[in-house]
Amino acid sequence: MKKVFVLDFGSQYTQLIARKIRELGVFSEILPFDTSVEHFRKERPGAIILSGGPQSVYEKDSPSITAEIFNLGVPVLGICYGLQIMSLSLGGEVVASTKREYGFAALRVLDRKGILSGIRDGGQVWMSHGDKVSRIPPGFRVTGTTKNCKTAVIESPGNNLYGIQFHPEVIHTRQGKKILANFLFNLAGIEPNWDMESFIDTKTKEIRRQVGDRLIVCGLSGGVDSLVTSLLLHRAVKDNLYCIFVDNGLLRKGEYQRLMETFRKKFDLNVIGVEAEDRFLHRLKKISSPERKRKIIGEEFIHIFEEEAGKIGQIDFLAQGTIYPDVIESNPVKGPSSKIKSHHNVGGLPKDLPFELIEPLKELFKDEVRELAADLGLEKDFISQHPFPGPGLAVRVIGEVTRERLRILREADDILIQEIRKARLYDKLWQAFAVLLPVRSVGVMGDRRTYQRVCVLRLVQSVDGMTADWFPADSRLLSTIANRIVNEVDGINRIVYDITTKPPGTIEWE
């Protein structure tokens, strides 16, 4: 299978380039711009794409590239900054500009034989650049222009080198995908043969080869990634996979039982269920600092995991549900595509445990994991579930966590989710949950005064959890939820609605 390497010069669209290539049925991988040429010689990619980047090629410390890359005989496509750095390395000229060209432009197609085959003259493209190529390198021809850019597309078919000033990877470039397809299939001669079925097949064989008849252990969190990891491993090694699922007492209503049943009955996984509520609650006694809570829960999880793994016998491998964005975020490439999320994967295990790591999903994007999940038989409701934090309800019971407070929160949260689902809102939201405050307020129910806790409803929309908007829910829906919680949950007599965006707030309260 031929791979395409996308070299990241820091563009916010780098991941998008990799995604589009995979959508076209070709496996792609993002690498730092300074990956050694030796690596390419060894791996023999089908093509290399140079991404855009936020800097000017003339800026101090701007990322550059060795010209050797263009002599490997591997087809190369430079996009935006990638085009400029390619032009500069091959003897062309780039003019720095203080004015950015940003937005739509119409593409004049001068030649339809190469990368612009089948592309409409005058079609819309998306520009976002400051510098531009003022003199193209020897051996190249201009095949496309726009009003403000005379070198919008350049080609050197003899050397299989191509450059585009606009962004074919973004949706605003109407025929962008076709341009990428022209490059991959017509010019680089790559066969599209990457899809989920072939992924499952290759991965299963690869795991089988690597593991043989040794044992693997995998922690299940209740989320999609760890379950998909386990299902893939199960296909490969059957009962040599042991899964461990810990009830830390901080899960939602009925969650532990429901998940255990799914793991065992539906998927026939070998799961060790550990009911450890008492242990966690004991360690959380009198703790109200959010970070202390997270740390304690993380530590306790690791203790339990080690204890349970120790009981199984000689384990050689530890499987984790790491996915591609996690890999990119923890090995950031210089530039803005490397915005690092504060990673708080409680339940994630330290890498220095005495096992070899297996991370079968580490090349996949989230939506590819979802596709894989569906192919492996997971139901839609499970696949599209909202993110749930590793420390669970402990960060939603504000202040000290007690069994009684967890009971109250679980009931309220369950009602909220029931109503959100009934209103067909669940899939429109990034997260919806209840938070229990350590504050009591006075109320009146029937003829009696009440003095009970305050519950917050948090409904947010987000694309990636990095920023979020509060959801302007319908007042009738809010009213139904509030009435039900106050009437049905003993311990809550007041509901408030959180209208804080992130930033400056965060999604969770702790």
> Can residue 253 be called a binding residue for ligand XMP (CB under 6 A)?
no
- Out of 334, 344, 366, 407, which residue is the one contacting ligand XMP (CB under 6 A)? 344
Q: Judge contact between 298 and 347, C-beta under 8 A.
A: yes
Distance CA 78, CA 55 (A): 15
Catalytic residue among 129, 149, 155, 167: 167
Number of residues that bind ligand XMP (CB under 6 A): 14
**Residue 197 annotated to the active site:** no
> Can residue 392 be called a binding residue for ligand XMP (CB under 6 A)?
no
Long-range contacts, 354-357 (Cβ 8 Å, 24+): 355/217, 355/309, 355/315, 355/316, 355/317, 355/318, 356/316, 356/317, 356/318, 357/317, 357/318, 357/319, 357/320
To the nearest whole angstrom, how small is the minimum distance from the Cβ of residue 420 to ligand XMP?
16
Binding-residue pattern over the window 440 to 479 for ligand XMP, x denoting contact by CB under 6 A: -------------------------x--------------
To the nearest whole angstrom, how small is the minimum distance from the Cβ of residue 259 to ligand XMP?
16
Catalytic residue among 129, 155, 169, 218: 169
Q: How far apart are the first and last CA of the chain?
A: 46
Phi, psi angles (nearest 5°) of residue 447: -105, 10
Long-range contacts, 376-382 (Cβ 8 Å, 24+): 376/200, 376/228, 376/231, 376/232, 376/235, 377/231, 377/266, 377/267, 378/224, 378/227, 378/228, 378/231, 382/224, 382/227, 382/262
To the nearest whole angstrom, how small is the minimum distance from the Cβ of residue 426 to ligand XMP?
15
**Residue 167 annotated to the active site:** yes
> Can residue 339 be called a binding residue for ligand XMP (CB under 6 A)?
no
**Residue 80 annotated to the active site:** yes
- Which residue, 207 or 468, is less far from ligand XMP as judged by CB? 468
To the nearest whole angstrom, how small is the minimum distance from the Cβ of residue 465 to ligand XMP?
4
To the nearest whole angstrom, how small is the minimum distance from the Cβ of residue 501 to ligand XMP?
11
> Can residue 506 be called a binding residue for ligand XMP (CB under 6 A)?
yes
Distance CA 379, CA 343 (A): 28
- Out of 56, 148, 159, 345, which residue is the one contacting ligand XMP (CB under 6 A)? 345
Judged by CB under 6 A, which stretch of 26-34, 39-47, 419-427, 499-507 contacts ligand XMP? 499-507
Distance CA 406, CA 393 (A): 7
- Out of 10, 46, 389, 491, which residue is the one contacting ligand XMP (CB under 6 A)? 389
> Can residue 108 be called a binding residue for ligand XMP (CB under 6 A)?
no
Q: Judge contact between 226 and 232, C-beta under 8 A.
A: no
> Can residue 438 be called a binding residue for ligand XMP (CB under 6 A)?
no
Distance CA 267, CA 270 (A): 9
For residue 204, the surrounding DSSP H or E stretch is: helix 196-211
- Which residue, 182 or 221, is less far from ligand XMP as judged by CB? 221
To the nearest whole angstrom, how small is the minimum distance from the Cβ of residue 506 to ligand XMP?
3
Kindly report the CA angle at 197 between 193 and 200, in degrees rounded to 5?
A: 110
Distance CA 213, CA 110 (A): 60
Tokens read off for 229: 């990891």
> Can residue 507 be called a binding residue for ligand XMP (CB under 6 A)?
yes
Strands 123-129 and 101-109: antiparallel
- Considering only residues 279 through 298, tell me which ones interact with ligand XMP, judged by CB under 6 A: 294
- Out of 391, 393, 397, 409, which residue is the one contacting ligand XMP (CB under 6 A)? 391
Catalytic residue among 80, 218, 243, 455: 80
- Out of 79, 390, 481, 482, which residue is the one contacting ligand XMP (CB under 6 A)? 390
Q: Cβ atoms within 10 A of the Cβ of 279, count?
A: 16
> Can residue 321 be called a binding residue for ligand XMP (CB under 6 A)?
no
- Considering only residues 416 through 435, tell me which ones interact with ligand XMP, judged by CB under 6 A: 431
**Across 96-177, where does the E strand assignment appear?**
101-109, 123-129, 132-135, 141-146, 149-156, 161-164
- Which residue, 46 or 390, is less far from ligand XMP as judged by CB? 390
Q: Judge contact between 129 and 54, C-beta under 8 A.
A: no
> Can residue 222 be called a binding residue for ligand XMP (CB under 6 A)?
no
Judged by CB under 6 A, which stretch of 95-103, 164-172, 355-363, 385-393 contacts ligand XMP? 385-393
For helices 277-284 and 290-312, give the axis angle rounded to 10 degrees: 150
Residue carrying the six token digits 């959010």: 290
- Conformational region of residue 435, where left means phi above 0, alpha means psi within -120 to 50, and beta covers everything else: beta
Judged by CB under 6 A, which stretch of 48-56, 149-157, 300-308, 502-510 contacts ligand XMP? 502-510
- Residues annotated as part of the active site: 80, 167, 169
> Which residues of the chain form contacts with ligand XMP (CB under 6 A)?
294, 344-346, 387, 389-391, 431, 465, 502, 506-508
